[in-house]
Amino acid sequence: MSMSRPRPNDTLRRDIESRPLFQGRTGWVEQIGLAGFALGRCLTLYVRILFGSARLDLPAFVAALRQAGLSILPAITLVSLLVGLILGHQTQSVLAQIDLPGLILLSAIYAVVMEIVPILVGILVAGRAGVALAVRQATLAVSGEIDGLLVNGIDPIRFTLGPVLLAMLTMSFAFAVWGSLITLGAAALWLWGVADLPPALMLDAFNRALTPGDLLESLLKPMLFSVLIALIATVNGTAAGRDPEGIAQAATRTMIGAVAAILIADLFIVLVVN
């Protein structure tokens, strides 16, 4: 009587049930491996969609857009407006002491567009879309629904991460533009009304402060942050295993890890790329 060899899915299922994921000395290697695998699966899906050999789950994509976009649009607008007013007030205070409005505006505009707005967008997307993705992934792992997807021939990574990552990239790009416009607009109105600084000076400082390459970098930064957030959420959600407490832990670890990754990535860009 010959014994049948175990299928890979059965081996993976027993492995998930028998031990916590990503533990021990090689846990961080497994996390990086899963993140790379997830990113590769998503990129493969997007390439196949472009060439017409696969279809995007439009209902899931629309739901992810709503979750990653419309739900945090008021927060993005409010935060950008407050940052702009604070920037205008602080700039006015400095201009009252130093007669160098052009130089002050150059520094302020560069800091807002290149650093403040991309980081704020990344953190807000992490708090909303990233945590939601981690919770969903952890719920699938805890409830055993990942097994059901595998049995039905559905790739769990593409099913959960594919539409969400695309939605996060789209909305991060849009929020980078919207946040910068609201922040600089609010600062310009404050300086115009309180410090009697003409808007033309603000526009001139904007043109001199930022090159086309700077503008491209300011738009790509939040998109890079979105990729990091999505991968961190997927890894932490998968790490929940079959422990119900892992859902809350996945949400917490995703938020902390995403903020840390955003700041580290931004520092890397500033020190190495630039």
Q: Give the pLDDT confidence of 164-187 residue by residue, as tens digits.
A: 899 999 999 999 999 888 888 888
Q: What is the pLDDT of residue 96?
A: 58
Categorize the per-residue pLDDT at 220 as very low, low, confident or very high, splitting at 50, 70 and 90. very high
DSSP state of 113: I
Q: What is the pLDDT of residue 16?
A: 46
Alpha-carbon gap, residue 87 to 194, rounded angstroms: 13
The answer on pLDDT for 7 being more than 70 is no
Please compute the mean of the pLDDT values over residues 54-79 and round it to a whole number.
78
Tens of pLDDT, residue by residue over 184-210, are: 888 888 888 877 778 788 788 888 888
Highest mean pLDDT among 29-33, 109-113, 121-125, 242-246 belongs to 121-125
- In which element (H, E) is residue 136 found? helix 131-143
Q: Which structure tokens are listed for 187?
A: 């600062």
| Contact call for residues 112 and 83 (beta carbons, < 8 A) | yes
| Contact call for residues 91 and 187 (beta carbons, < 8 A) | yes
Which residue in this structure is represented by tokens 């981690």?
Answer: 134
3-state secondary structure of 207: helix
| Contact call for residues 160 and 140 (beta carbons, < 8 A) | yes
The answer on pLDDT for 227 being more than 90 is yes
Q: What is the pLDDT of residue 11?
A: 45
Indicate the residue type of 266. D
Q: What is the pLDDT of residue 100?
A: 54
Quick count: other Cβ atoms within 10 Å of Cβ 122? 29
The predicted model scores a pTM of 0.77
The answer on pLDDT for 63 being more than 70 is yes
| Those residues with Cβ within 8 angstroms of residue 170's Cβ, 6 or more apart along the chain or in another chain | 65, 69
